[in-house]
Amino acid sequence: MAPAGNFESLQAALDNGADSVYFGVEQLNMRARSNINFGLNDLQEVAERCRAKNVRTYLTLNTIIYDHDLSLVKTLLNAAKAAEITAVIAMDQAVIAYARQIGMEVHISTQINITNIETVKFYALFADTMVLSRELSLRQIQKITDRIEKENVRGPSGNLVEIEIFGHGALCMAVSGKCYLSLHAHNSSANRGACKQNCRKKYTVIDQDTGFEIALDNEYMMSPKDLCTLDFLDQVIAAGAKVLKIEGRGRAPEYVAKVIKTYREAIDAHYKGTYDQVKVAHWMEELKKVYNRGFWSGYYLGQKLGEWSNVDGSKATQKKVYLGKGQHYFPKAKIGEFKIEAYDLNIGDTVLITGPTTGAKEFVLTQMLVNDEKKEKATKNDSCTIPLDFRIRPSDKLYKIVKNP
Amino acid sequence: MVVVTLQRKKCIGCNYCVELAPAFFQMARNDGKSVLLHSVEKKGFHTFKSADDASYTPCKEAQKACPVKIISTKLV
């Protein structure tokens, strides 16, 4: 299950083998800021693109809901129902109740913090899929999935309740994301999707009386590393989780492309019986190329609490550098034309093309023409043409991937 | 004169401005975003001008509290 903060990421998820995508529309979701959300008018297109690939669509509507939000809740759910969005991911009972009323499938958000089978049974009255608390161990998850089967716990659709868990991406120090730190420090509520991520910063501890500062071995005392389950995916699947959620609606499209592609390969390999440590090592290197704070296994393996990050931002081993814009695509010749606006492009470079319809496409450059001549290098203001088996557009951006020092 | 502006489109509907300056802000029923009362819209910026300087304090409080920083309050 892939995150889609915009059309670029949505397309990247579709192109790299996601089974389902989740996204926010307007402000009532855990990434409320408008630049990582869709508008009501986008809903139809999101649904159509996903339907064409037989990918399920989930609308996140999982913040705290106040009275003044109720009308928007109804507007969003009615629009989602009309666009045939598969389900809504909900926390507030008002959202759950209205979705059921109009016959829309409900998934229970991790914000509800389900940690036991009785709670699963309770929410089975309303929901077919439930995201468990991020803080459970695989053993605890297995117990829940076993009992769903044994006790025949079915949702409104008549099918057995499916369990979804977080598979990859940012974790935070708060239980199931229910955190007040950002609200208290910046009036910016995480539970309304406006988390300011104070926990990701460096802190010191000072005795106010004497000014004595306690020595810390890690000043990022509240910033956990990112969750990664790839290296024990066989155990995750064995625990009975049916849906693996990839976090990251605020991440770049190439992040979505890379992470989805990697997990797709790993899951497929597991079912083919070819999942092994050599492959895992390769996949882990792939995952390290994109945004990460270092990886840990979360709470799933149940040993120790909290592994803390030691960086402010990402530890990604690669970064992208902006080169230029798409100009034109010649469909018969299958050639894309780009205008270089910064830096330089060389044969042998790994390039990335992103755009709202193109998604995120990465490949090694083997040939190009620069201002209609065969050359090894293109620089600023050059026009260069590259053979491409996919269409590019003027809204597309061209990057090259370089090592992150 | 006090000039208050609101970039309404970016509002996440947290309700802080209404709590702090109920005489100037209200939550809209239809889309759950804040409305700056008696304001005029131009290119997404909703502006309200008040001859009464007493408008300044509550609107400034709302500005300070706004998590997405879309309110501006100026004494001119």
Q: Is B3 on the interface with A (CB under 8 A)?
A: no
Are A108 and A129 contacting, i.e. CB atoms less than 8 angstroms apart?
yes
Sole residue written with tokens 């309304």 = A192
CATH 2.40.30.10 domain locations along chain A: 318-403
First vs last C-alpha separation in chain B: 5
Q: Is the pLDDT of residue A267 over 70?
A: yes
Q: Is the pLDDT of residue A174 over 90?
A: no
AA letter at B5? T
How long, in residues, is chain A?
A: 405
What's the CA gap between A203 and A186, in Å, rounded?
Answer: 16
Q: Which one has a higher pLDDT value, A303 or A98?
A: A98
Task: Write the residue in A34, A71, A196 that is nearest to B32 by C-beta.
Answer: A71
Q: In sequence order, what are the beta bridge partners of A322?
A: A399
CATH 3.20.20.70 domain locations along chain A: 2-172+225-296
Q: What is the mean pLDDT of residues A165-176?
A: 89
pLDDT in tens, A284-335: 999 999 999 999 898 898 866 667 887 777 888 899 999 999 999 999 999 9
Helix-helix angle A7-15:A43-52, to 10 degrees:
10
Q: What is the mean pLDDT of residues A232-250?
A: 94
Architecture of domain A2-172+225-296: Alpha-Beta Barrel (3.20)
Q: Is B31 on the interface with A (CB under 8 A)?
A: yes
Are A131 and A90 contacting, i.e. CB atoms less than 8 angstroms apart?
no
Per-residue model confidence (pLDDT) at position A204: 84
In B63-76, which positions are buried (b, 16+ CB within 10 angstroms) versus exposed (e)?
Answer: bebbbbebbbbeee
Q: Is B61 on the interface with A (CB under 8 A)?
A: no
Per-residue model confidence (pLDDT) at position A354: 95
pLDDT in tens, A109-164: 999 999 999 999 999 999 999 999 999 999 999 999 999 999 999 999 999 999 99
> Nearest C-alpha of chain B: how many angstroms from A30?
11
> In chain B, how long is the greatest CA-to-CA distance?
33
The pTM for the full model equals 0.88
- Please report the domains of chain B, with CATH numbers, ordered by start residue: 2-75 (3.30.70.20)
Q: Give the HSE-up count for residue A212: Cα atoms under 13 Å, Cβ half-sphere.
A: 4
Per-residue model confidence (pLDDT) at position A305: 65
Kindly write down the DSSP assignment for every residue of A183-220, as one continuous string.
Answer: HHHHS--GGGT----GGGS---EE-TTT-PEEP-S-S-
Q: Which one has a higher pLDDT value, A172 or B8?
A: B8
Sole residue written with tokens 């590393």 = A225
Token pair belonging to A226:
């990112």
Superfamily for A318-403?
Answer: Translation factors (2.40.30.10)
Q: Is the pLDDT of residue B54 over 70?
A: yes
**Residue in chain B lying closest to A182 (CA):** B67
What's the CA gap between B11 and A309, in Å, rounded?
Answer: 32
- Torsions phi, psi of A27, nearest 5? -95, -10
pLDDT in tens, A55-75: 999 999 999 999 999 999 999
Q: What was the ipTM of the complex prediction?
A: 0.82
Contact call for B9 and A32, based on CB within 8 A? no
Chain A residues with CB-CB distance to B14 below 8 A: 187, 189, 192, 194
Q: By three-state DSSP, how is residue A334 classified?
A: coil
Kindly write down the DSSP assignment for every residue of A43-91, as one continuous string.
Answer: HHHHHHHHHHTT-EEEEEE-S---GGGHHHHHHHHHHHHHTT-SEEEE-
Q: Which of A258, A260, A266 is nearest to A236 (CA)?
A: A266
User: What Cα–Cα distance (Å) separates residue A393 from each residue in A166, A289, A356, A396, B20?
Assistant: 34, 26, 9, 5, 47
State what percent of residues in chain A have pLDDT above 70: 99
Contact call for A69 and B12, based on CB within 8 A? no
pLDDT in tens, A23-49: 999 888 888 876 778 999 999 999 999
Per-residue model confidence (pLDDT) at position A176: 81
pLDDT in tens, A188-236: 888 888 888 888 888 888 888 888 887 777 778 888 889 999 999 999 9
What's the CA gap between A305 and A288, in Å, rounded?
Answer: 23
User: What Cα–Cα distance (Å) separates residue A88 from each residue in A81, A104, A122, A132, A242?
Assistant: 9, 7, 18, 16, 17
Lowest mean pLDDT among A71-85, A180-194, A356-370, B61-75: A180-194
